[in-house]
Amino acid sequence: MIRLKTLHKSYTTGYTNLHVLKGIDLEIDKGELVSIMGSSGSGKSTLLNVLGILDNYDEGEYYLNGELIRNMNEKKAAMYRNKYIGFVFQSFNLISFKNAMENVALPLYYKKISRKKRNARAMDYLERLGLREWAHHLPNELSGGQKQRLAIARALISEPSVILADEPTGALDSQTSMEMMDLFQEINNAGITVLIVTHERDIAARTQRIIRLRDGIIESIVANGERKKWLADQKMA
């Protein structure tokens, strides 16, 4: 599904050159539920941006669904994003002056689906996420958990193959966070690849694989079942 080959990315700000990703090799299969962990500055957000084609990279290769994503113009990138990727953000990123239904329907607008059809489908997804009666409310009338569910509905509506979630529980309390993880689990069970960037251990613990980033390289990849063993190894070392 996702394949990275010695991916490099650096930012130039003024005279300083910041090398953020220093050769990432990674393979994520279809239907996996993976988390990326790392302290701030480890490059996890940058990696997510590259994966989401929100940002480009300098060296290496990135294959999404078997297609090489490289030096894309904005238009093509927008098309790929719309087709393959659903985003969930920490701060929800809902459009404040649109109601819940319109927010969810937005990706379909860029797929050039008629208003009637996309609103019907948006209602469908709101129903599934238990937000039907909130369809005509503006985002600021909803709770944090509801907003995030709204954002998830929006990510799902275009039927993407990958969901990229950037700290999706960062703004939520722990109970809502767990509910959110249940939701991701459910989505994953439906066959959609889910990638969650987080710095919370208990969130990462609920994924199948944890990718640890440190200073722009992958420090370790741990399959969840082996986590205890890995921890023990760490202690022994």
Partner 1 sequence: MFDLDKWQEIYSTINKNKLRTFLTGFSVSWGIFMLIILLGSGYGLENGVKREFEDDAENTLWFNQGTTSLSYKGYKPGRFIEFKNEDFNQIRKQDDVEHISGRFNIFENNTLSYKNEYGVFDIICCHPDYSFVENLTSSQGRFLNQRDIDESRKVTAIGRLVAEALFKGEEAVGKYIRVVGIPFQVVGVFEDPGGDRDLSRIYIPLSTGQMVFNKQDDVGTIAMTVGNVSVERSKEMAEALKKDLAQRHHFDPEDQRAVFIWNNVENYMQFMTLFANIRLFIWVIGIGTIIAGIVGVSNIMMIVVKERTKEIGIRKAMGASPYSIVILILQESILITSIAGYLGLVLGVGLLELASKYLPKTDYFSNPEININVALGATLILVMAGAIAGFVPARKAAAVKPVVALRDE
C-alpha 148/C-alpha 40 separation (Å) is 22
Least Å distance between CB 97 and partner 1? 5
The yes or no reply on residue 1 touching partner 1 (CB under 8 A) is no
CA 67, 161, 54: angle at the middle one, nearest 5?
65
- Beta bridge partner(s), residue 183: none
CB-based contacts of 103: which residues, under 8 Å, 6+ apart?
94, 95, 139, 150, 154
| 144-157 and 174-189 helices, crossing angle to 10° | 20
C-alpha 4/C-alpha 6 separation (Å) is 7
The yes or no reply on residue 65 touching partner 1 (CB under 8 A) is no
Query: Which of 54, 123, 129, 217 is in the footprint of partner 1 by CB under 8 A?
Result: 54
If binding means CB under 8 A, how many residues of this protein chain bind partner 1? Answer: 29
The yes or no reply on residue 115 touching partner 1 (CB under 8 A) is yes
CA atoms within 13 A on the CB side of 156: 24
The yes or no reply on residue 124 touching partner 1 (CB under 8 A) is no
Query: Which of 10, 22, 55, 208 is in the footprint of partner 1 by CB under 8 A?
Result: 55
The yes or no reply on residue 176 touching partner 1 (CB under 8 A) is no
The yes or no reply on residue 75 touching partner 1 (CB under 8 A) is yes
Query: Which of 18, 110, 127, 185 is in the footprint of partner 1 by CB under 8 A?
Result: 110
* Contact of 203 with 177, CB cutoff 8 Å: yes
Least Å distance between CB 75 and partner 1? 5
Q: Pattern 128-157, binding to partner 1, x per CB under 8 A?
A: --------------------------x---
C-alpha 148/C-alpha 171 separation (Å) is 9
The yes or no reply on residue 177 touching partner 1 (CB under 8 A) is no
Query: Which of 5, 8, 19, 89 is in the footprint of partner 1 by CB under 8 A?
Result: 89
Residue 40: φ, ψ to 5°: -65, 140
The yes or no reply on residue 52 touching partner 1 (CB under 8 A) is yes
The yes or no reply on residue 18 touching partner 1 (CB under 8 A) is no
What is the Rg, in whole angstroms, of the alpha carbon atoms belonging to the chain?
18
C-alpha 36/C-alpha 224 separation (Å) is 13
The yes or no reply on residue 111 touching partner 1 (CB under 8 A) is yes
Binding site for partner 1 (CB under 8 A): 49, 52, 54-55, 74-75, 78-79, 81-83, 87, 89-91, 93-98, 106-107, 109-111, 115, 154, 158
